[in-house]
Amino acid sequence: MEVSSSPDLSAALAHEGPLVRGIVLLRLLAAGGRRGVALTQLAKTAGLPNSTVHRLLQQLLSHRLAMQSESASRYVIGPLAYELGLVAAHQFDIRQLCQPAMERLAHDAADTVYLVQRSGTEAVCVDLRQGPSAMEFTALQIGSRRPLGLGAGGLAILAALPQDEADEIVAVVLGVIERDWRLPAPVLRESLRTARERHLAVVENRITAGVTAIGCSFRDSLGNVFGAITVAGSSARMTRSRTSALEGHLQDAASAVEQALNGHQWAQYTAGGSGAAKGHDPVGQPNVCPPGPN
């Protein structure tokens, strides 16, 4: 898996200090998943000299925020990131809040259910549940990051945003989606238009062959689009009649998630705000996503 390059990222980092550059490297390592990312690829994506990236990686290694793979040719997220995440989970982890709705939907749909959260211009899978008849496939794994609009969850989120904000995000992610995912711009725009009209996103054979996913967005207690809940299964089973039947279950699940999030105003810090809509997260760097199922 390679991390997608971004000219906007290179331009933004040209004026940033070591802290922000280090955060960007951590994001790229997270996007690289278990396989990790080579130093040269990190440097190319971030638009930084190899020597600068090497120096930053050494600092991350010394503090256990990164580590080298067994072959020592690639870098991955380190154990301290996991330890910090355990603490943050008590404040920001929505999985426990959403667990009843996820399990009920997985039982009713009998397929795989995903909980997707917005992170700037990306959609991040934060949880999944296997239904009793779920097929074995790797369409999405916990921690996977994709551009908004690509998968069913990200498309549902994008379709629920105000028109001007959605247009800004499309302008940011379109080049990456076209280049790394081979999805033409007209197809993306048409699927976005359809999702807006139906208040439901359907993606068929787009990311994983033979798999169809359906997504419905949900909002936080402040009314901001926070994430989406999706059902994915075999395209052969996802007939038009079954898709229509699942629509009600998805909407019920999304409503249950919104009720679970009610009163938790920390959500506004996790999904990203207007700055993220312009292609930057709260610390100022453009978002990047890896091609492939991660």
| CB-CB contact of 190 with 212 (8 Å) | no
Least confident of 17-31, 65-79, 86-100, 264-278: 264-278
How many angstroms from the chain centroid is the CA of residue 83?
21
Token pair recorded at residue 12: 């933004």
Measured CA to CA, the distance from residue 195 to residue 159 in angstroms comes to 6
Taking only the tens place, the pLDDT of each residue in 142-180 is: 888 889 999 999 999 999 999 999 999 999 899 889 988
* Both structure tokens of 21: 């550059």
The CA distance from 268 to 221, in Å, is 9
Q: Is the pLDDT of residue 282 over 60?
A: no
**In angstroms, rounded to a whole number, what is the distance separating the alpha carbons of residues 274 and 285?**
13
Q: What is the pLDDT of residues 209-236, one digit of tens each?
A: 889 999 999 998 888 999 999 999 998 8
At 238, is the secondary structure helix, strand, or coil?
A: coil
Distance CA(216)–CA(254), nearest Å, equals: 7
Could you give all domains of the chain from N- to C-terminal order, each with its CATH number?
7-87 (1.10.10.10), 93-277 (3.30.450.40)
Q: Rounded to an integer, what distance in angstroms lies between the CA atom of residue 219 and that of residue 255?
A: 9
Could you tell me the CA-to-CA distances from 217 to 2, 139, 182 in Å, in that order?
Answer: 29, 19, 25
Q: What is the pLDDT of residue 240?
A: 87
Name the pLDDT band for 107 (thresholds 50, 70, 90): very high
pLDDT band at 25 (very low <50, low <70, confident <90, very high): very high
What local confidence, expressed as pLDDT, does residue 292 receive?
Answer: 40
Copy the structure tokens of residue 101: 């709705």
107: tokens are 């039982």
Residue 1: the pLDDT is 36
Cβ(217)–Cβ(160) under 8 Å? yes
Please give the pLDDT value at position 287: 40
Query: What is the helix (H) or strand (E) element at residue 193, kind and residue range?
Result: helix 185-198
- Region 46-75: mean pLDDT is 91
pLDDT exceeding 90 applies to what percent of the chain?
49
The pLDDT of residue 281: 43
CA 114, chain centre distance (Å)? 11
SS3 174: helix
Mean pLDDT over all residues of the chain?
83
